[in-house]
Amino acid sequence: MEPSQLNWIANFIWGIADDVLRDLYVRGKYRDVILPMTVLRRLDAVLEPSKQAVLDMKAVLDRAGIVHQDAALRQAAGQAFYNTSPFTLRDLKARSSQQQLRADFEAYLDGFSPNVQDILDKFEFRNQIPRLSRADALGTLIEKFLSPDINLSPYPVYNPDGSVKHPGLDNHGMGTLFEELVRRFNEENNEEAGEHWTPRDAVKLMAKLIFLPIADEIESGTYLLYDGALGTGGMLTVAEETLQQIAREHGKQVSTHLYGQEINAETYAICKADLLLKGEGEAADNIVGGPEHSTLSNDAFPGHEFDFMLSNPPYGKSWKSDLERMGGKDGIRDPRFIVQHRGETLSLITRTSDGQMMFLVNLLSKMKRGTKLGSRIAEVHNGSSLFTGDAGQGESNIRRWIIENDWLEAIVALPLNMFYNTGIATYIWVLSNRKPAHRRGRVQLIDATQWYRPLRKNLGRKNCELSEEDIARICNTFLAFAETEQSKIFPNAAFGYWKVTVERPLRLKGIDPERAYTPKEIKALKETAERAEDAPPVIKKLHEKGTAADPLRGLFAVTLAGRPAVVEYEPDPELRDSEQIPFLECPSCASPGHLPTPEETRAAIEAFIRREVLPHAPDAWYDPDSVKIGYEISFNRYFYKPLPLRTLEEIRADILALERETAGLLDEIIGGVKA
């Protein structure tokens, strides 16, 4: 069907809302009725030719006492769904009594297969029936959807002379129509849209970033796609279409299976309905959702591995309730979030105030490890995922785990105001466990913030979009993998650092500099003695003879009572500081993929301390046990362009202009007084 015809049908259905629901619902709630009714009318039209066959099969199964009837009824219907009630929507159109219409309509709904029941339950559509019935609007609504002016059936409608009045609406066309309605309702409720619906321009870019780098390597076969923050399913369907198109262009035949999980009941229902309407009944069965199905605390696909994964997880949304269901921070045993890495146990558990990076960890746990292509991932994040979390904390550990495993290919900074309900900066992370040779050990950062097309009319906070040319430009920059003004390439270690605690001795007046003090004595001295820079340091430990001095690690060589000794000083908590030492202090870390050895770590930290700390605090040392590894990615550091300073001539001209303006005002005031 032509796009213009689909648009006409969408306008007609949109008009039904205004005609029937205007005085019953506020505009933001039209979707609660129109979306499920659109689904029902399509399913009803698809099932019409096999209606009698389903009823006959139902009778046979009942007489035989067969309890599990689903498979047989699906076969009778020739679809992944069916309806065993004696009614169709056309039968209900003729009801004159509202009471009878309501009873028969509810019986009609009850006759649908379990997968459709799930959709209706998540839409909470049955809750709308009493209101529609009381307002005498239910019959009108059904009649509007059965209008001869539109055809939601896959079969053509003919004129009396045999010519086609309305062409049949195939599954793809129906899916496109339904997505258009969802888009319009989301834009109508733009304050909520970004939570559940990612703009199509961003999704197209994500899909191409996943598939284009391996377009020549895709073979005929079956591929599994997954989204752990499914929303209305747009990412999966766009990704599926992109993969199918690339496969066709390369002469390959691929089949795809879609999997997803979504906690919001309504958006889950929309996604599942969309797949059913497209004829993808098997894919609809692989979609799991509802309030009880949180991806973090109730993974619907443990042990599954997928070829391609895309997600747009919620930003800044608390996952405290999930944490409690998982046993609390100390009780989590989920292998997705507690991993072994380079000989240590790494916690990938983030702050409860923002769980977006946990969704990325969920995707990474489902990567294929035994295939040629492995897995490719694209996920949208806001800026906090680049830098929040101190060294050793969950967010930093996730970045460390990703980068040290060499999974991160690139991060693309998108234009501001790309999404519906937020103007904050957003980024696409592109990951793979099968990096091509030229990318290994490196990460590409792309600044695409200036590549966009302004919208003629804002959609909520969304005031720009990526044109096809912008998407191509970003993808070409990604594929070129070259240094430009908008593309920077770094060795993995460029983002790593050691966080080191630097100590200085506690210096107190009136103490004996020749003896060591016990912890109890030191506590008393802190309360009574006066600190002073020129006072002697407090010794807390005398080491045995033969201990080597190491002042950078707090072991100082001194002379006590005329004899050499090695001592430790009590650190002063008021002078305690920390240093963030880049991995690139280690010369070998400039090589792509190199990670510092323990020996290189010590050498780099001590060289930094000697150069940056000791000239200002000669008595300082660092605590080796305090060293923690952290990772952060700062786009501003690499792409920030300071505004050029104004010239002295420009500044002088502005000052003189202000003086002239001020003098003129004074003349007017003084002249007015004299007059």
Q: Which pLDDT value is given to residue 498? A: 97
Could you tell me which residue, 360 or 661, shows the higher pLDDT?
360
Which two tokens mark 193? 């849209």
Range 443-457 burial, b when 16+ CB lie within 10 A, else e = bbbbbbbebbeeeee
Closest CA to 355 of 259, 193, 229: 229
* Rounded Cα distance, 340 and 163, in Å: 68
E strand or H helix at 93:
helix 89-93
Range 173-190 burial, b when 16+ CB lie within 10 A, else e = bbbbbbbbbbbbbbebbe
- Band the pLDDT of 424: cuts 50, 70, 90: confident
Q: Which of 121-125, 186-190, 273-277 has the lowest mean pLDDT?
A: 186-190
Average of pLDDT values for 119-137? 92
- Band the pLDDT of 458: cuts 50, 70, 90: confident
Task: Report DSSP state, residue 36.
Answer: H
pLDDT at 156 exceeding the cut of 60? yes
- The dihedral region occupied by 591, where left means phi > 0, alpha psi between -120 and 50, and beta the remainder, is beta
Of 544, 569, 594, the position where a domain reaches its end is: 569
336 and 422 housed in the same domain: yes
Residue 623 domain-assigned (yes or no)? no
483 and 529 housed in the same domain: no
Based on the structure, what is the number of domains in the chain?
4
Altogether, the residues listed in the chain come to a count of 675
Strands 308-311 and 254-262: unpaired
**Cα dihedral across residues 231, 232, 236, 242: positive or negative:** negative
- The dihedral region occupied by 279, where left means phi > 0, alpha psi between -120 and 50, and beta the remainder, is left
474 and 527 housed in the same domain: no
Residues 6+ apart with CB under 8 A from 90: 146
Supply the CATH number for residue 452's domain. 3.40.50.150
Residue 610 domain-assigned (yes or no)? no
Average of pLDDT values for 204-223? 96
Which two tokens mark 180? 């258009």
Cβ atoms of residues 490 and 592 within 8 Å? no
Across 433-469, where does the E strand assignment appear? 442-447, 453-459, 462-465
Closest CA to 152 of 7, 9, 49: 9
Residue 604 domain-assigned (yes or no)? no
Q: Which pLDDT value is given to residue 193? A: 42
* Rounded Cα distance, 533 and 555, in Å: 20
pLDDT at 196 exceeding the cut of 60? no
CA-based R_g, the chain, Å: 34
Percentage of residues of the chain with pLDDT beyond 70: 96
E strand or H helix at 386:
helix 384-387
528 and 652 housed in the same domain: no
Query: 542 in helix, strand or coil?
Result: strand
* Rounded Cα distance, 406 and 390, in Å: 21
Q: Which amino acid is at 302?
A: P
Residue 609 domain-assigned (yes or no)? no
Residue 543 domain-assigned (yes or no)? yes
275 and 212 housed in the same domain: yes
53 and 130 housed in the same domain: yes
**Cα dihedral across residues 365, 278, 5, 23: positive or negative:** negative
* Rounded Cα distance, 441 and 625, in Å: 28
pLDDT at 491 exceeding the cut of 60? yes
* Rounded Cα distance, 560 and 16, in Å: 95
Of 479, 498, 517, the position where a domain reaches its end is: 498
Cβ atoms of residues 442 and 488 within 8 Å? no
What stretches of 124-215 show up as alpha helix (H) in DSSP? 129-134, 138-145, 171-188, 190-196, 200-211
Residues 6+ apart with CB under 8 A from 83: 43, 44, 47, 51, 54, 108, 111, 112, 113, 116
pLDDT at 561 exceeding the cut of 80? yes
360 and 225 housed in the same domain: yes
Residues 6+ apart with CB under 8 A from 323: 297, 329, 332, 349, 352
* Rounded Cα distance, 553 and 569, in Å: 11
Of 456, 483, 498, the position where a domain reaches its end is: 498
Q: Which pLDDT value is given to residue 330? A: 82
Closest CA to 429 of 345, 502, 361, 372: 361
**Cα dihedral across residues 25, 29, 34, 39: positive or negative:** negative
Q: Which of 12-21, 82-91, 253-262, 273-282 has the lowest mean pLDDT?
A: 273-282
* Rounded Cα distance, 543 and 53, in Å: 93
pLDDT at 70 exceeding the cut of 50? yes
pLDDT at 195 exceeding the cut of 60? no
**Cα dihedral across residues 79, 81, 84, 87: positive or negative:** negative
pLDDT at 540 exceeding the cut of 80? yes
Q: pLDDT (tens digit, 9 = 90+) per residue, 325-349?
A: 998 888 888 999 999 999 999 999 9
330 and 362 housed in the same domain: yes
253 and 154 housed in the same domain: no
Q: Which pLDDT value is given to residue 674? A: 53
CA-to-CA separations, 430 to 199, 316, 354, 445, 652, in angstroms, rounded? 18, 21, 21, 10, 50
Q: Which pLDDT value is given to residue 436? A: 95
543 and 491 housed in the same domain: no
**Cα dihedral across residues 23, 24, 29, 32: positive or negative:** negative
Q: Which pLDDT value is given to residue 178? A: 80
132 and 149 housed in the same domain: yes
Q: pLDDT (tens digit, 9 = 90+) per residue, 391-410?
A: 999 999 999 999 999 999 99
Cβ atoms of residues 512 and 560 within 8 Å? no
* Rounded Cα distance, 118 and 46, in Å: 19
Cβ atoms of residues 627 and 391 within 8 Å? no
pLDDT at 415 exceeding the cut of 50? yes
Residue 97 domain-assigned (yes or no)? yes
Measured in whole angstroms, how far is the alpha carbon of residue 287 from the centre of its chain?
18
Residue 343 domain-assigned (yes or no)? yes
- The dihedral region occupied by 492, where left means phi > 0, alpha psi between -120 and 50, and beta the remainder, is alpha
**Domain of residue 675, residue span:** 644-675
Query: 55 in helix, strand or coil?
Result: helix
377 and 454 housed in the same domain: yes
Average of pLDDT values for 462-475? 92
Which two tokens mark 132? 């529609």
Mean pLDDT of the chain: 90
Which two tokens mark 10? 């969408």
Residue 332 domain-assigned (yes or no)? yes
Q: pLDDT (tens digit, 9 = 90+) per residue, 564-614?
A: 999 999 999 999 999 999 999 999 999 999 999 999 999 999 999 999 999
Average of pLDDT values for 114-125? 92
Average of pLDDT values for 376-380? 97
pLDDT at 191 exceeding the cut of 50? no
The widest CA-to-CA distance across the chain, in whole angstroms, is: 120
Which two tokens mark 590? 């400039």
* Rounded Cα distance, 655 and 437, in Å: 59
CA-to-CA separations, 639 to 162, 470, 488, in angstroms, rounded? 65, 19, 9
Q: pLDDT (tens digit, 9 = 90+) per residue, 240-282?
A: 999 999 999 999 999 999 999 999 888 888 888 888 877 787 7
351 φ/ψ angles, rounded to the nearest 5 degrees? -60, 145
Q: Give, in degrees to the nearest 5, the angle at Cα 312 between 306 and 317.
A: 120
